[in-house]
Amino acid sequence: MNYDKFKKVSSTAGNFKIWQPRYKDNKVLLSKKCLSEGWNMVEFTEAKHLLGKKFKVHSDTVKKCSVCTNGKILCYEVPMENLIEIAGEN
């Protein structure tokens, strides 16, 4: 089995690297502590249909979303339709 895909994907302030949207409701979990004021960038590392695409979302939009936990940290549940694809980045 190739364990490379299980390497920790880290997010920094304003720059989120996420495996894939949550399957059951097509939402993205963004850490409350990594959210920056203004525009935040989102990149998917494992979702084949989203590889190579970059998205942005404004902190004001994110803060209107509900808060949950991923089991370890508090996260905003952001619907995929709130993410804006960045043109020319593909």
Consecutive 10-residue averages of pLDDT for the chain (90 residues): 46 84 94 94 93 94 96 95 82
- Asked whether residue 55 is domain-assigned, the answer is yes
Examine residue 46 and state whether it is found in any structural domain, yes or no.
yes
Whole-Å CA distances, 59 to 31, 41, 69: 12, 10, 18
Q: Is residue 89 part of a domain?
A: no
pLDDT of residue 11: 64
Query: Per the domain annotation, does 2 fall within a domain?
Result: no
9 in any annotated domain: no
Compute how many other C-beta atoms are within 10 angstroms of the C-beta atom of residue 55.
Answer: 20
pLDDT at 19: 92
- For the chain, what is the domain count? 1
CA-CA-CA-CA torsion sign (13, 48, 65, 32): negative
Report the distance separating Cα 83 and Cα 72, nearest Å. 24
pLDDT at 87 (0 to 100): 80
Residue range(s) defining the domain that contains residue 64: 14-84
